[in-house]
Structures are given as structure tokens and as C-alpha cells.
Structure 1
């Protein structure tokens, strides 16, 4: 028996070595055929065990995309990094990013993302390719028309509740040195605004935080109270585990099959059940031709969407994809802006002066159009998206044998060969911090760099906060309008801002599908 086992192990090892040798031979043959240079390969140990360990270490200690700095400096802007036995091409070169997202768009697809995120997000605009993606984009594009993103009344309603929450926090924690966590409140508020925009009724997470019975709320769309209050946690945890699946590359299946199997599927189930309730409500309104809901003057995303499709799975998946973007993008942006401005009182004062000069002390003069005309507000938004891009790392998979323009050869200037099925990870985080494009102060938060008097750097593919090419974000104006409005109302309301966090930079990062501060953004404001 032992002898038979030894023969089987030897045969398996021989076959594996032979396959690896053939793969390497075939790869080198195609590199020459396509006229490409050799890529630098990071030292990841036998079968990439060091690379896998590094991915898990970064995730465990919340180091985020900042942890990639040493690797880019050592191996160049484009190199191969093995996560387990699977090679992953990693790049921060804007020319390669431009090729994947625009000039060679048809050479790349999202198959790796679909495998990793499909159990959570389903067949939505962020996971589909080809006809499915084209259909999703056509379905969703009208929902983000200018007249819809400019509706600010509902945001003002939630801002007023946010102010009460801040007053509660300041009263409860006035004697502490740390202040209160504004990031937590921003995530609650943007969940409220996103669910009202999508479903027509807010989950009122800020109201739950206040725990004030005097504040009247609606019926929350008839959703069960336990499901409503548990949704936010399930949504966060599903994202964190889904994000780890993407970073494990071809080992994504470990999360949900071997590791944390039960929690992963439970969180996904809770999230989908929550959204399914609203999809069913929209379909019922369509079937009953309920004009009070379908033709209401108040714009509601799901009732517009159900006019185009009555498929409950399509409705759920598309609404879930937009909910992810609608909540996380705006909350993350606001949190990072406050994280940096709290450490820089002079710039906070400068922003406040600019907002008061352009809008006065109240909301009356803040409109979709006027938000774009407040220069220093725009500089702050741009700089936040540069230093803390909401989606700092993304990826594409080659749908056929192809090339990318740079990364090969001794100096990295030659094209590189990308075989069919190869995933390429691109780090917008480090593209946005590249001294070649942004100067030696690239990692500093300096809104003034966006003043045209200081040049026009950062206007090409080296600045990509909302992706680019055909898949550029549909909701970018929606996000910028909400962030600009809330930030303006905050600086109008609070004269001073001070950080309650004395820890040195960089902070710890919660890198789920988007990026936020792991330990919260602690501030004191008056």
C-alpha cells in the first residue's frame, strides 16, 4: 500500500512539474511572438506561499493598499505577484490602465470579479460583461439623469437628523479627549439617503441611533423591524468577506466553501432577503397598476426600474449594486475628508469661508449647478478622491491573448504579454500617489494643487476616481452632489473642527469593496 501511494505521489508530482514546464515554455513562446519584454516577478516562495501569506497579513492587520508601496518600489510599476500558485499581474501604470479600460476594452472582462462577488451582488452592473452589462447600463442610465441627482430636499431632511445625532454625541462625550466617530454617522446617513432614493422609504438608521420616540418615521416600506435593523451589519460583513475573496485571486472559493462558510452565506442571504422585499413591492405595484406609486411626483428608483423589467432577480440585483455604490462611495468620501481636515484646521477654515461666501449660512443657495461653481469645495472633493480613492484596487481578466503597453524589459518600457484568462490588478491608489505625475508631495492632502493657476496635472488617466472608458461610473454626479451638499451644510453649521485621533499616519484601513477608516474618524466640532 505504501509503495502504491509513493508511486501515485511521484506520478502526480511529475505531471505537475511537466505541466508547469510546458506552461512556462508556451508563455515564453508567446512573449516572443507578440514582441514583448519580460515582466519582473516578485519573490513569493514555492507555489506562491509567501504571496498568499502577505495577502492574509494585509487583511488581518488592516494595512490596506498602502502596504503595496514597498513591492511597487522594488519590482516596478508593473510586475507579477503570485497569490498561491496563481500569477497575478499588478500595475499602477496609467497607460496600462487606459488600455484595459478604454483602448483595448474588448480584450478584458470581469469573469474573476463575477466569480468572487457573484454570491453577494448577483447579476448586476458591477459584475456583468457583454450583453448583460450593456443591458444593465441601458436600464440604469436614465435613473441618473441630471434632474434626479439634483434633488436635494431629501438630503436636507436627513442632514437635519444627522445634526441631532452630532449634538447627542457631543453631549454624551463632551468630557473625553477623543470626541465622537463621524464616520459611523456618515455611513448611517448615506444608508438612509440611498434607501430613500432606491426604495422610496428610508431605513432610518440615524433615527434608530438617536433612539428618540418624538421623531416620527414612516413604515419603512413594510419591512420587518429586525430585518431593517440587522441589514447594515449584514451588508458590511458580506462586503468584507466578498472583498477578501477578490484578493485571494483564484483561491476565492476558500471563503464560502472552507473558511467562514456559514457566516458568508448567511450574510448574503440576509442582504438579498432585505432587497427582495422591496423588489416584490415594486412588482406588485406594477401588476396592480398603482399609479400613486408608479407615477408619483417624488422620484423613486425602484418604481422607475420596474417599468422596464418585472424580473424579481434582475430588480434585486440591480438595486443591490446601486445601493452598494450609493451608500459606500459617499460615506467613504465624507469620512476621509473629515479625517484630513480635522488634522488641518486652517484648511477647514478656508473651506468654510469659501462655502459661506458662495452659499451663505443656509441651504437655500445650494443647488446642483452652484455646487460645481464653488472652486475650493471642488478642490477638496478632487483631492479626497485622489488621496483616498473609494475603490483603490480593481482588476480585469484577459478574454483573449493580448498585450499591455508597458512593464516589460529591464526598464519596464516594453509591452508585456497577457495570456487569455490572466487577471491584471490595477492600483488606482498608487497611480494617484505617483510622484511622476503628482510631485514629491504626492501623498500629502493639498486641495490647492487643483487650482488651475498651479498647472493642469492630474487630468488624464493618472486620475481615475470613478473608473474610465465605457464602464465609467454612472453615478458619479449623484455621489459628488450628495457629498458636496452634506459637506457644505456641515461647514456652514460647525465653525471649528479638531481631530480626536492622535495616532500618526497612515491609519488602519477597512478595505472591503470600498475603503474607509478601520477605527473610525474621531473629531470634535463646535
Structure 2
């Protein structure tokens, strides 16, 4: 007869320990063999060969400011199509920044993952904040949520948002009136950012926050600003790649958790309040006249299954961030460009005047948006020159051949949008100049469709891009129709990455009220 040992027997404990050690050793061997195969492939890719044995290329990275942006951009000269960048010596990131290489990655959308595996990967650094919303989710989950959320951006919904976008712009205009009267300069990101937050809050969530009048004292605004700074700071620090280390043993990690708790409290309170309101509505009410939050709470699959509370929260957090921070960056930099080039600002104004000439007010109507052809060129050139989203990241789930190089499954790929938009082999040596004529209809028709990607492309393009373009047109057209903007003298504009493009010290403009002819 066999003897059955108790589970707490020393023999059983020893066997379990040996088995666990054997499993760990096996996993380590499997990982090492795969790593050495990858290493043999990645070392053949175009790359700066001066990399550190532990930090890879990250020991050279000067940080998220202007110098860091130029560090990343500097590789487009020797490597105009692609190159390898080592984040530590354990993970190679393939950087692509030319239409010919970008299109191969984006066209392979069925074979790439938006949520790369592994510690320290760019999107995963934000999952504690944004969860698995549309920005980070993958595969069937992403496809399902995208399908359920698409009705929120239907033409009729976009049209219904216009009155709220105009109302929020009215508040901004009253602030500009005060600056014009006093002769005081104003910081662009601060005031346009609050306007953008007001717009997304009212349009998507029917929530009036008074954030434009409360200013930067708004705790949500402060929390989002801090989260975006911490996110990008961590993304270039090899020592903070692992969650366990970052969240338990660093001050930044603990701060990130605190800020996440704050923004989650805001979104959860908003969702719970809306659920309570929806229960009080009469039966049979349709989604007509409702907002984004109503639609995602009511959305159902064919089997009647909707989003869970946490899934709704992830989407709310994602849309509050993406619908506010990226648009803030675009608005601020484009207004700065128009202020810097008065002749371009005046040409925009003339176009807008022709739209408003038979009216007694400057409230934008939906049919006006398609008439703003020159302003649209200015907006697109601003999105090229000061692209709000610096890069997007993917992970290959199948092998692919790129420029004759074998790229294995599992490779991390960064589509460097800023580098793409400034690549001299694509845009010429004047790529750093603001020239709206690049997007004149005839010129634009000859442009490679993958040369300009402010909203990404393919299946995973930005679901809110039309909403964002409408907002840019409404706010900018009304501002420059009523006021003249100039750049305050004596300042140096230095860009900075904080998940989206910002500046190190802000942008200060002077504003004067126009004298109508």
C-alpha cells in the first residue's frame, strides 16, 4: 500500500518547492532562448550602436522637454524610415517614421496589438488611470466597445453638440474681453484647456463644472495635468518599468495612485448620478437628444448585454482625457501659430467674415463648418507641426517584413508621429515652418495618405476626430473673428511631452478687440 502524506509533510513541501523552482528555471530558459533569437534579429536593424549594456539608449535621453523631443527626432536624419531603439537592453522598440514603413504597420491592423505586453510599455503605464477603454483595450473587447460607442459620434449627435460648444466658447470669449480691455497677456494652455474641458464635460456628459471660472483650482484639471506628467516621465525611466517597484517604492508611483483615485471619484460619481437619473425617465425614451454617457449606458449587444460599471468608467475616463487634453494642445499651438503669422491670421479672418457678413452674431452653425476651407488648412498644418500625440505604439502578433528586415512576432513598434510630420524626406527641409498651403486641395490630393496622421489611421483611428475638428473650427473661428492675437515679446517657446504635446513654460499672447469695418 502507498502511504498518503499530509499536505504539511516536509516531503510534500520540498516537492512543491522543487517543482516551483523547476518551473521558474524552465520559464527563464524559454525566455532566454527567445531573447537571444530576437537579439540576433534586432542587432541587424539600423540603430545607434552606442548603447549602454543596461539602459540601452535611454541613458542618453535628456527628458521630456524640448531637448528630449529633438533627441528622438535626431534619428530621422541617419535613419529616415526606421530604426531600433533600446529601452534597457532587454526590450527593443522599432521606431517607424516614414509613410512607407508606417503604412505597413497600420495596414497590418489585424495582426497587431494596441496593448503591448511587458513591463514599462507605453500604453500599459496608463492602465491604472484609463483602464481598458478604447485607447488601451485589445482584440474582441476593443471591437465590441468601439461598435457600441460609435452611435455617440453619429452625424445627428455631432450636430446636437454644437450649441454646447458655442456656449462654452462664449465663456472663453468673455474672458478674452477682459484681457483685451485690461491689456493683460494671457497663458494660452490654461484658458483654452479649461474651455476644452468645459466642452467635453457638457457635450459628452451634460455636466456643467464651472471649470472656466474656477480656473486651475479645479482639482480634476490639476490631477490630469499631474498624471500626464508622471506617465511620460516614467516612460523614459528604465528603473521604473516594473509596476511592483513603481507603485510600492517610488514617490511618483504613490502620487500616480492618489491622482488616479481622484479622477476615478469624479467619473464614478458622474456615472452613478446618471444611472439614477435614467431610472427616473419614462419608459420607451430613445437616445435622441441624449449624450455620450446616456448612449454608453444604454448600449447593448445582440444578446442584450451592456457594458459593466468598470467598463463604463474606463470609457468615461478615456473620453474625458482624450476629449480634453489632446484638443487643448491643438487649440493652443494653432492659436499661437496664427498669432505668430499675422498675415495668415488675417486671411482666416477674411474667410470667417464672409460667413458672418449677413448676421448680427458670430454663433457657429453646422453648415458653416464646411465653408471654413482656409481655416481647415491652418488647423491641419498646426496638427502637423505641433502634433498633439507624439507617437502611438503597437506590438506585432505575427512576423512581418519591413524594408527587407525580418520583424518577429512580439516586437514593440512605435509609430513616431512627430518624426513622421517633420521627416525632411517627406516634407522637405522647411518642415519646421508653418505653411498652411501644404494642405491646399491640389497639394493634399498628391500627398501620401500615411504622411499626415494626427488622428492615427486604419481600424484604430480616433473615434472622436470629427468632434475634435468641429471644436477646433468653432473656438478658433470665433476667437480670431472678434480679436487680434499677437505673441508676447521676450518669450522662448520650448515644447514638452506630457503624454500630449505641451510647452515647458506656457505660451503667452496679447489680445486686442478688433475694430469692425
Counterpart CA distance in 1 for 2:321 and 2:49 is 36
Equivalences, count = 470
Q: CA deviation at 1:198?
A: 2.3
1:216 aligns with none
TM-score by length of 2: 0.83
How do 1:477-488 and structure 2 match up within 5 A? 477-488=466-477
Q: Decide whether the 8 Å contact of 1:280 with 1:312 is kept in 2.
A: no
Unaligned runs of 5+ in 2: 1-25, 300-305, 513-517
Q: Decide whether the 8 Å contact of 2:114 with 2:138 is kept in 1.
A: yes
Counterpart CA distance in 2 for 1:292 and 1:63 is 58
SS in 1 for 2:249: coil
Equivalent of 2:103 in 98, 103, 113: 98
SS in 2 for 1:184: helix
2:302 aligns with none
1:328 aligns with 325
Counterpart CA distance in 2 for 1:38 and 1:29 is 7
How do 1:125-136 and structure 2 match up within 5 A? 125-136=134-145
2:213 aligns with 207
Counterpart CA distance in 2 for 1:418 and 1:501 is 49
Indicate whether 1:318 and 2:315 are aligned.
Answer: yes
Indicate whether 1:525 and 2:514 are aligned.
Answer: no
SS in 1 for 2:63: helix
Equivalent of 2:53 in 44, 47, 72: 47
Alignment root-mean-square deviation, CA: 2.9
Indicate whether 1:188 and 2:177 are aligned.
Answer: no
Indicate whether 1:272 and 2:264 are aligned.
Answer: yes
1:66 aligns with 70
SS in 2 for 1:432: helix
Counterpart CA distance in 2 for 1:277 and 1:20 is 44
SS in 2 for 1:58: coil
Cα separation, partners in 2 of 1:246 and 1:139, compared to 1, 3 Å: farther
Counterpart CA distance in 2 for 1:435 and 1:91 is 14
Cα separation, partners in 2 of 1:149 and 1:276, compared to 1, 3 Å: same
Equivalent of 1:124 in 129, 133, 145: 133
1:251 aligns with 241
Counterpart CA distance in 2 for 1:388 and 1:161 is 26
Q: CA deviation at 1:24?
A: 6.8
Indicate whether 1:307 and 2:298 are aligned.
Answer: yes
Q: CA deviation at 1:455?
A: 6.2
Cα separation, partners in 2 of 1:355 and 1:348, compared to 1, 3 Å: same
Cα separation, partners in 2 of 1:323 and 1:25, compared to 1, 3 Å: closer
Q: CA deviation at 1:386?
A: 1.1
Q: Decide whether the 8 Å contact of 1:109 with 1:399 is kept in 2.
A: no
| 1:382-439 alpha-carbon deviations (Å, 9 max, x no partner) | 1111111221211111223x12422xxxxxxxx2222232211121111111222222
| 1:481-519 alpha-carbon deviations (Å, 9 max, x no partner) | 01101111111111x221015345xx3223122112232
| 1:110-164 alpha-carbon deviations (Å, 9 max, x no partner) | 2244522210100101111111101110111000011121231111211121122
How do 1:134-283 and structure 2 match up within 5 A? 134-150=143-159, 151-171=161-181, 174=184, 179-209=185-215, 229-248=218-237, 251=241, 253=243, 255-259=246-250, 260-283=252-275
SS in 2 for 1:46: coil
Indicate whether 1:383 and 2:381 are aligned.
Answer: yes
Which deviates more from structure 2 when the two are superposed, residues 309-318 or residues 138-147? 309-318
Counterpart CA distance in 2 for 1:141 and 1:464 is 20
Q: Decide whether the 8 Å contact of 2:152 with 2:291 is kept in 1.
A: no
SS in 2 for 1:96: helix
Cα separation, partners in 2 of 1:152 and 1:29, compared to 1, 3 Å: closer
Counterpart CA distance in 2 for 1:455 and 1:107 is 29
2:457 aligns with 468
| 1:443-462 alpha-carbon deviations (Å, 9 max, x no partner) | 21100121235563434101
Q: Decide whether the 8 Å contact of 2:198 with 2:211 is kept in 1.
A: yes
Q: Decide whether the 8 Å contact of 1:181 with 1:522 is kept in 2.
A: yes
Q: CA deviation at 1:248?
A: 4.5
Counterpart CA distance in 2 for 1:454 and 1:91 is 24
Q: Decide whether the 8 Å contact of 1:192 with 1:204 is kept in 2.
A: yes
| 1:18-48 alpha-carbon deviations (Å, 9 max, x no partner) | 99995575247779xxxxx931222343324
SS in 2 for 1:366: coil
Q: CA deviation at 1:82?
A: 1.2
SS in 1 for 2:225: helix
Counterpart CA distance in 1 for 2:171 and 2:220 is 20
